Amino acid sequence: MTQLWTADALLDFLVEEAGLPPADRPGDLGVTLLDIGLDSLAYLQLSAQVAGSFGVDLPAEMPEDYTLAEILATVNAGLGEREPV
């Protein structure tokens, strides 16, 4: 069974790797990276991490209205398309 990426893992990445202050960690994934003060560089870091760790490609350019929930759903949809090992 494929293990899905969790909201906590996404938020941990944003804090630990993308520069999101822990106090600004959102309680709701209905926000965009821009909403929480992160820019396209943070998106590129996230995109590279997702591709490297999961083999899932996010859109090349950061959609301004791309919520954290949509990012998580994109990753998990990509993981769900894989054949179990």
> Cα dist. 45→14, 18, 52, 80, 85 in Å?
9, 7, 11, 23, 28
In a domain, 46, yes or no: yes
Tens digits of pLDDT across the chain (85 residues)? 567 899 999 999 999 999 999 999 999 999 999 999 999 999 999 999 999 999 999 999 999 899 999 999 999 999 987 655 4
In a domain, 14, yes or no: yes
Q: Which amino acid is at 46?
A: L
Give me the number of domains the chain comprises: 1
CB 24 within 8 A of CB 68: no
Which residues constitute the domain of residue 55? 7-80
In a domain, 65, yes or no: yes
